């Protein structure tokens, strides 16, 4: 009898679709996918913020149907003909196949609360959102276009890969180029709201992502230059608990606010109503 009962239970389990549940990286809990989706991909148990695709982020933040993508045809060039265990060309092909994107940045214009803005984001799913020539070019063009049209800029960063080494100096120079574009936009009276998500690290954080007039971060995002493990190994000291999290940086005055994803759109609308010219 016990064996038959087990068989019935196993049969019932097989009938449950496997895509109903998610494993949370934050608390290791098993959570109901529909509930997480209703909370904008935020864990119902520990408030862990899952990574969003560009399309999901645009749908979350902008007015429906208002986003117009610009420069979507830009594609990285393998100028160094980088070869290794896996060539740069192969890595790009794999990333494009996985994400449907040509590179780690999506940029354009849209509306939020009826107000037109320049909007861009970096996608950590594409080679960890590393900054190559295309990402830097799109970010620079976003600020140049915004300055010309007198638009505020909202840029969502999610890059953990730093400068893309496969492009050598072409990648490193994007830090200066994007920072200069931000400065020119600011000199013309433009507003820049920088939204930092998990992770925002290395060259992206050391350039345009840190230069916002307002720095907004999602909860528990990893934000910094070098990761905590590397820092500990270098200085041979234990770092403070929560070092490089949004909350730690807010406490120490580096960012302006931490906003949960479900409230982010409303907060950006409020900031624009106060600060945008």
Give the domains, in start order, of the chain with CATH numbers: 1-50 (no CATH), 52-275 (3.90.226.10)
pLDDT one-digit tens code per residue, 118-130: 999 988 888 887 8
Distance (Å, whole) CA 191 – CA 182 = 10
Is pLDDT at 163 greater than 90 in this prediction?
A: no
Q: What number is the average pLDDT over the span 238-249?
A: 77
pLDDT one-digit tens code per residue, 61-110: 999 999 999 998 898 888 888 887 888 888 888 888 888 888 989 999 99
pLDDT one-digit tens code per residue, 183-209: 999 999 999 999 998 888 887 888 898
Distance (Å, whole) CA 220 – CA 48 = 7
pLDDT one-digit tens code per residue, 135-149: 999 999 999 999 999
Cis peptide, bond prior to residue 199, ω within 30 of zero:
yes
For residue 10, the model assigns a pLDDT of: 45
Residues 95-104, buried b or exposed e (16+ Cβ, 10 A)?
bbeebebbbb
User: Which bin fits 28, alpha (ψ -120 to 50), beta or left (φ > 0)?
Assistant: left
Dihedral, 173, 179, 180, 183 alpha carbons, nearest 10: 180
The DSSP bridge partners found for residue 35 are none
Ranges of beta strands (E only) in 176-245 are 192-196, 214-217
pTM of the model: 0.82
Is pLDDT at 26 greater than 70 in this prediction?
A: no
Distance (Å, whole) CA 203 – CA 60 = 26
Is pLDDT at 46 greater than 50 in this prediction?
A: yes
């Amino acid at each position: 009898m016990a064996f038959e009962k087990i068989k019935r239970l196993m049969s019932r389990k097989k009938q449950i679709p496997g895509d109903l549940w998610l494993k949370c990286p934050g608390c290791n809990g098993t959570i109901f996918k529909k509930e997480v989706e209703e909370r904008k991909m935020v864990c119902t148990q520990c408030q862990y913020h899952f990574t969003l695709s560009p399309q999901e982020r645009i749908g979350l933040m902008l007015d429906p149907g208002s986003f117009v993508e610009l420069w979507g045809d830009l594609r990285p060039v393998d100028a160094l003909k980088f070869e290794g265990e896996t060539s740069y060309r192969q890595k790009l092909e794999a990333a494009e196949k996985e994400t449907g994107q040509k590179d780690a940045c999506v940029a354009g214009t849209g509306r939020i609360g009826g107000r037109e803005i320049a909007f861009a984001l970096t996608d950590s799913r594409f080679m960890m959102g590393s900054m190559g020539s295309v990402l830097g070019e799109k970010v620079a063009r976003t600020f140049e276009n915004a300055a010309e049209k007198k638009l505020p800029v909202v840029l969502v960063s999610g890059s953990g890969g730093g400068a893309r080494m496969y492009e050598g100096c072409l990648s490193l120079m994007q830090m200066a180029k994007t920072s200069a574009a931000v400065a020119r936009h600011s000199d013309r009276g433009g507003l820049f709201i920088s939204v930092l998500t998990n992770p925002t690290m290395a060259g992206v954080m050391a350039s345009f992502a840190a230069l916002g007039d307002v720095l907004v971060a999602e909860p528990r995002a990893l934000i910094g230059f070098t990761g905590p493990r590397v820092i500990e190994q270098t200085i041979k000291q234990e770092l403070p608990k929560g070092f490089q999290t949004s909350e730690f940086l807010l406490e120490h005055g580096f960012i302006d606010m931490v906003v949960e994803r479900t409230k982010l759109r409303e907060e950006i609308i409020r900031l624009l109503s106060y600060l945008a010219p």
